[in-house]
Every structure is written in C-alpha cells, then in structure tokens.
Amino acid sequence: MTQTALVAPLDFKVIDRVAVVTFNRPEALNAMDPEMFAAFREALQRIAHDDDILVGIITAVGERAFSTGSDLKKTFPPSESFAELAFGRMGADKMDIFAGIDTPKPLIAAVNGIAVAGGLEIALFCDIRICSNKARFGLAEVRIGSIPGAGGTQRLPRAVGLSDAFLMLLTGDQADAAEALRMGLVSKVVEPSELLDTAMAIANRIKLNAPLAVRAVKRLVYEGLDTSLPNALKVERYVWGTLRNTEDRIEGRKAFTEKRPPVYRGK
C-alpha cells in the first residue's frame, strides 16, 4: 500500500511502511529555505511517531544535488540574540535543524549528488548512507569563517575517524564517492539509476526484522559511543533481558523452528 502526501518543497511518501522523504528544490540545489526546513522537521517527526512507519529514506530529486544546506538567499541572521535563541522558548529549534527530534527508527540517506554544509550534516544524521557515483561531500565552513553548526564537527569524526574528518573539516576540501566509500562515510556506491532501489532494498530488509529489536540496536549503538565499553556492555545485557520475553522474540524463535517467515507486531 502506498500513501502519498505533498509538503512543498518536499515530497513525503509511505511505501509499504517505508517513508521516503525527497528534497524537491532542484533549481536551488535543494538548499533549505525556511519552508523546506519546517517541512523536513515535520517529516522527521512523522517518521518518529507514526507506528505504521518502520524505516525512513532521505533523498532528493535529480542527480545534481542532495542538498547544499541553508539557502543563503532566503535565510538571514536571526534578530534574536544568541542567549534568546539558546535559552528562549523554541529557541533551540532555530539553532539546530535536529533539535528536539528523536528518531528511534533507522534512517537511510540516499545521496544522489552534492552533499555539502547542512546537506552533509543531514546525511550524517542518518544511520546508513549510500550514494551515487556522482555524489560529492564537503564541509567547507572554515573557508567563510564559520564551523559546521548542525553536528558536522561531532558526527563526521564518529563516522570516518579523526584523521579523515580533520582533513575535510580543516581544509574544506570535498570528497568524491570513491573517497567517501574508502573512509567509511558511505556503505555503498551505485549508479544514479540504482540509488533509490538500493536504498529501498535495504529498508525492506530492515523492516522484516522485529521492530523493538531494531530500535533497541540503534539506541544501544549511539548510547554506547558516549560511555565506556564495560558500561555499554552492561546496558546491552539489560536490553537483551528486556527483550527476552517479548512476543516478537518468541515469535522469531517459533518461526525459525517452523521454517516460516516471522510475523512481528512490535510487542
């Protein structure tokens, strides 16, 4: 079953429990103006809270650009002071595109072209990244006296390691698809015509698994990055015990024994 909704300048579709978010401002290299910014946050919230959605894919129209970040022609410095933005009501949302958004479900970035500045930071927010052979990645904010302000300095090193991250962050140089694959920024490089199908195939394999277990794995991985290995292993054991008697785990074992596909209910 396919449900379709248009939230210009962003397309949102749900195809058999997989949400596909497509940036749709190709004339502006999918740069994010305030309207697109709001639509994207709305899409992430929908993925997070809609029980009918199990996996999300983020991609863009065409082969030229995934996103170049903020549209500098339509976004201007805020009138509020930094303190107002940092501590005022709803201030954090104006400072960080991901503020207040917890997406427990897996997100796949299908990068079709240029992903720089905030565009790369969006890809880094996703859990799995694949790209076409036309993709290019970069965080060049130091060239204009700034820094990546939506997680780039923190998520890039976690994704690719310190040396490769520093090379990109301090020079502002771009990485092509082959280099992105080498450093682990993406998991696969495919032809442009195969990109969305490849992302959908990955999503379809994920959605066959027990939803509670999938979300538990995502949480464990990210929380484990922020603590010591012994503590992380203790939490892992606790979560294993929490899932042990769930209906889905019992169903998984029965299905394996009976040599049939499991039917998971997220319980």
Same domain, 177 and 244: no
Same domain, 170 and 231: no
Catalytic residue list contains 251 = no
Q: Which domain holds residue 118?
A: 2-207
Our answer to whether residue 141 is catalytic in this structure is yes
- Indicate which residue of 42, 80, 141, 258 is catalytic: 141
User: Could you report the per-residue pLDDT of 102-115, keeping only the tens digit for each?
Assistant: 889 999 999 999 99
- Residue 229, domain CATH: 1.10.12
Assess whether 120 and 192 both reside in one domain.
yes
| Residue 87: pLDDT over 70 | no
CA atoms of 11 and 13, how far apart (whole Å): 7
Give the active site residue among 121, 223, 236, 258. Answer: 121
Higher pLDDT, 88 or 199: 199
pLDDT at residue 95, rounded to an integer? 47
pTM of this prediction? 0.86
- Assess if residue 44 is contained within a domain: yes
Tell me: do 221 and 120 sit in the same domain: no
Total structural domains within the chain: 2
CATH number at residue 9: 3.90.226.10
